[in-house]
Amino acid sequence: MKQKIKALVFDAYGTLFDVHSVVTLLEELFPGRGQEVSRVWRTKQLEYTWLLSLMGRYEDFWEVTVRSLAFACRALPLDCPPARQAQLMNAYLRLEAFPEVPDALKRLTAYPLAILSNGSPRMLAGVVESAGLKGTFAQVLSVDEVKIYKPSPRVYALASQRLGLEPGAIGFVSANSWDIQGAGAFGFRTVWLNRGDQPGDELGFPPDITVPQLTDLVPILSP
């Protein structure tokens, strides 16, 4: 019999906060290319976290995001001088929360809530405050504490240790299928927030629950 969920842990980027909300600014700076830049930027950002982890190296997520933006602009190719790069990076501190997130989190407060993210502490503090969610989370945990990126088990272990709970008592919510696979392999109860009705990864750890919107999780987990 599975344990009762005693806390909810959320991924940040792509789950609570929309990484593509920078498209508006990108369109201003690169007319007609905003969606393309955002897609390449995000893809390379994730690739760099995985590569660094495999290489046994660590750079914080701010530096990874800077390097990923530089790659995207060079690959497309687009001119991105330092002032423009700084403007885009500052926008990453103010990413928009997905529309249903504030209401859903308010309705899930029967559980202790936490964030477990690749983001650096500064980046996470910025988006949480900008979205009006300060005080919502009992813990805001960054991989910076363990110096390796998801889906390393060391990252998921950080949440278990800091919350003082066995993995099976933690409900982990992510919109990233690869993150769900890593969390499931570690032993978390997993909730895939599949907003785009995408196919899941085939790595042997399917989600325990799949919902299209975070608010759809509320009636499922209501005590």
If asked whether residues 32 and 125 sit together in one domain, one would say no
Question: Which tokens sit at 158?
Answer: 């950080």
Rounded to an integer, what is the distance from CA 146 to the centroid of its chain?
Answer: 17
Over residues 1-20, the mean pLDDT reads 92
pLDDT band for 223, please (50, 70, 90 cuts).
low
Q: Is residue 67 part of a domain?
A: yes
As a three-state string, the secondary structure of the chain is CCCCCCEEEECCECCCECHHHHHHHHHHHCCCCHHHHHHHHHHHHHHHHHHHHHHCCCCCHHHHHHHHHHHHHHHCCCCCCHHHHHHHHHHHHHCCECCCHHHHHHCCCCCCEEEEECCCHHHHHHHHHHCCCCCCCCEEEEHHHCCCCCCCHHHHHHHHHHHCCCHHHEEEEECCHHHHHHHHHHCCEEEEECCCCCCCCCCCCCCCEEECCHHHHHHHHCC
Whether the predicted pLDDT of 1 surpasses 90: no
Looking at 11, 18, 144, 179, which residue is catalytic?
Answer: 11
Over residues 150-168, the mean pLDDT reads 97
Whether the predicted pLDDT of 205 surpasses 80: yes
Q: Is residue 1 part of a domain?
A: no
If asked whether residues 128 and 211 sit together in one domain, one would say yes
Domain count, the chain: 2
Pairing label, strands 139-142, 113-117: parallel
Residue 88 phi/psi, 5-degree rounding, is -70, -40
At 134, which CATH number?
Answer: 3.40.50.1000
For residue 2, what pLDDT is reported? 72
Whether the predicted pLDDT of 69 surpasses 60: yes
If asked whether residues 146 and 196 sit together in one domain, one would say yes
Q: 193-201, long-range: CB within 8 Å, 24+ apart, which pairs?
A: 193/15, 193/217, 195/98, 201/177
If asked whether residues 100 and 210 sit together in one domain, one would say yes
pLDDT in tens, 14-58: 999 999 999 999 999 999 999 999 999 999 999 999 999 999 999
For residue 40, what pLDDT is reported? 97
Q: Considering just the CA atoms, what is the radius of gyration of the chain in Å?
A: 17
If asked whether residues 66 and 111 sit together in one domain, one would say no
Q: Is residue 40 part of a domain?
A: yes
Q: How far apart are CA 38 and CA 126, in angstroms?
A: 20
At 39, which CATH number?
Answer: 1.10.150.240
Structural domain including 65 reads: 19-93
Over residues 179-183, the mean pLDDT reads 98
Whether the predicted pLDDT of 152 surpasses 90: yes
Q: How far apart are CA 218 and CA 56, in angstroms?
A: 39
For residue 3, what pLDDT is reported? 78
Whether the predicted pLDDT of 65 surpasses 90: yes
pLDDT in tens, 114-140: 999 999 999 999 999 999 999 999 999
Q: Is residue 2 part of a domain?
A: no
Residue 216 annotated in active site: no
Average predicted confidence (pLDDT) for the chain = 96
What global pTM score does this model have?
Answer: 0.95
Over residues 84-101, the mean pLDDT reads 95
For residue 117, what pLDDT is reported? 98
Q: How far apart are CA 119 and CA 126, in angstroms?
A: 10
If asked whether residues 146 and 214 sit together in one domain, one would say yes
